[in-house]
Amino acid sequence: MKQTWIKFLVMVIAVFSMHLAYSAPNLEIDTPAINALKSSMQMRHEQLESFYGSGAIGLTSNGLIAVRDAKALPLKDRQGINALVASENADRNKLYQEIAVANGHPEWSSSIQEAFAGRWIDKAQSGWYYQAAGGWMQK
Partner 1 sequence: MEKNLLVLLLAGVLTACVTINIYFPAAAAQEAADQIIDDVWKIKEGEAAKAPIPPSVTTEAPVK
**For binding to partner 1 (CB under 8 A), which residues are involved?**
1, 4, 8, 11-12, 15-16, 18-19, 22-23, 25-27, 29, 34, 38, 41-42, 45, 95, 99, 105, 107-108, 111-112, 115-116, 118-120, 123
Nearer to partner 1, 29 or 132 (CB): 29
Nearer to partner 1, 79 or 118 (CB): 118
Closest separation in Å from C-beta 133 to partner 1 = 21
Closest separation in Å from C-beta 139 to partner 1 = 12
- Rounded Cα gap, residues 114 and 80, in angstroms: 28
Nearer to partner 1, 49 or 79 (CB): 49
Distances 45 to 18, 38, 39, 105, 108 between C-alpha atoms, Å? 40, 10, 10, 28, 26
Residues 6+ apart with CB under 8 A from 29: 99, 102
- Rounded Cα gap, residues 21 and 24, in angstroms: 6
Contact 92, 120 (CB under 8 A): no
Closest separation in Å from C-beta 106 to partner 1 = 11
Closest separation in Å from C-beta 68 to partner 1 = 18
Nearer to partner 1, 79 or 86 (CB): 86
Instruction: Count Cβ atoms below 10 Å from residue 90 Cβ, excluding itself.
Output: 13
